[in-house]
Amino acid sequence: MTIMEGRDFKGILFIGDPHVASFPPGHRRDEYVETVLGKLSYAMDLAKKEDLLPIILGDLFHVPRNNPNALLVELIRLFKPVFPWVLLGNHDKHEARFTPDVSIAILEAADAIRLIKDYGIVDILSVCGRRVLIGASPDWTPLPDKVNLGDFDTVLWLTHHNLLFDEIGDDIEGEFRGKSFELKEIPGVDLVVNGHLHRPRPPIQRGSTLWFNPGSIVRIIRSHATKEIKPSVTIFRYNENKISLEPVMLPHKSFEEVFYPFSDTKDFDVIEGESRFIRGLENLALRRTAEGIGLREFLRLNLDFDDPIDKEIWKLYQEALEDEQK
């Protein structure tokens, strides 16, 4: 833990999972690199203008390794003047481990970001003249049972977890719901801010603890739920001695401009001279090579379960699995 002395921030800027990649994930058809870097640039400019501490809530990268050098250089140029904090997410790790060869380690070594990769207290800082203690639970680390470390105006905890904000949990797939966390009071923690879940959730109070999930700044999954999302960042500050969470909408294109229409998959239409199905398989192969993840997780992360063709792929996978187990 360090103590950031001599600076009083006007607030904290929470930036949900950017998923930076050199290719368009999922069913996106836009110039994805330009899109995601543009959103991060907007957020960094906002942090400078409003004197905010920017905190990225995990999954800075979509794949952990083999990101192009030009992309890493651009991120270093973007981040160095602002020095954002970055929580380690599951997509930032290779085979569920943080290793020196992952892309986020390069940004840390270049002194472009402050990487939060360990569980526990991170820092004490001043926000609007108030003492704020910040702790963190990066991906696959525990949540605290309680925090009792002295007299602070606010104790804020950062997480990158499957948190059950609602019964739907539509961005927590079946088997992973068993590894999810119920929202409950954490004595001594005033505010928990979570990454990982891409759909924004309104704040929920549990005893003395307020839970909040701002959602990703990019839309990865093409679904009817995603259609309603307006990518935003969130400013934490104080309003008459009370915590204020102010959403700021980011410049973004319409859902129809970002994603291929649902009907495009009906007959494996050819788009821009190539089969979209083949292009999708190439993207899947790239993710498997880059991340070294198992096929089940691989498909879960890439398939759109509202898409009839993706549903058929999942069905074929399950049938193949059943045949193997016979």
For residue range 205-262, list pLDDT tens digits in order: 999 999 999 999 999 988 888 888 999 999 999 998 899 999 999 999 999 999 988 7
Token readout for 182 is 């119920």
Within a domain: residue 76? yes
Higher pLDDT pick, 228 / 52: 52
Within a domain: residue 255? no
Same domain assignment for residues 121 and 267: no
Same domain assignment for residues 194 and 226: yes
Note the pLDDT of residue 290: 42
Enumerate the β-bridge partners of residue 274: 271
Same domain assignment for residues 81 and 191: yes
Same domain assignment for residues 64 and 117: yes
Question: Which stretch of 20-29, 98-107, 223-232, 268-277 has the lowest confidence by average pLDDT?
Answer: 268-277
User: pLDDT, tens digit, for every residue of 185-208?
Assistant: 999 999 999 999 999 999 999 999
Within a domain: residue 319? yes
Note the pLDDT of residue 298: 61
Tell whether the model's pLDDT for residue 284 goes beyond 70.
no
Same domain assignment for residues 240 and 266: no
Within a domain: residue 203? yes
Same domain assignment for residues 38 and 82: yes
Tell whether the model's pLDDT for residue 278 goes beyond 60.
no
Within a domain: residue 23? yes
Structural domain ending residue among the three candidates 220, 249, 278: 249
Residue with tokens 């525990």: 142
Within a domain: residue 254? no
Structural domain ending residue among the three candidates 192, 218, 249: 249
Same domain assignment for residues 264 and 198: no
Its sign, for the CA torsion 77, 80, 86, 92, is positive
> Alpha helix (H) ranges present in the chain?
32-50, 69-79, 103-109, 255-258, 276-291, 295-302, 308-325
pTM: 0.82
Note the pLDDT of residue 149: 85
Same domain assignment for residues 297 and 187: no
Within a domain: residue 236? yes
Note the pLDDT of residue 280: 52
48/41 Cα distance (integer angstroms): 11
Same domain assignment for residues 110 and 216: yes
The residue-averaged pLDDT of 308-325 equals 73
CA-based nearest residue to 144, from 124, 172, 111, 120: 120
Residue 281 domain boundaries: 260-325
Note the pLDDT of residue 145: 97
Note the pLDDT of residue 326: 55
Structural domain ending residue among the three candidates 199, 222, 249: 249
Within a domain: residue 7? yes
Note the pLDDT of residue 275: 44
Same domain assignment for residues 30 and 173: yes
Domains of the chain: total:
2
User: Could you please report the per-residue DSSP string of 149-186?
Assistant: -S--SEEEEEE-S-EESSS--TTS-GGGGGG-EE----
Same domain assignment for residues 189 and 236: yes
Same domain assignment for residues 244 and 269: no
User: pLDDT, tens digit, for every residue of 63-89?
Assistant: 999 999 999 999 999 999 999 999 999
CATH number for the domain spanning 193: value is 3.60.21.10
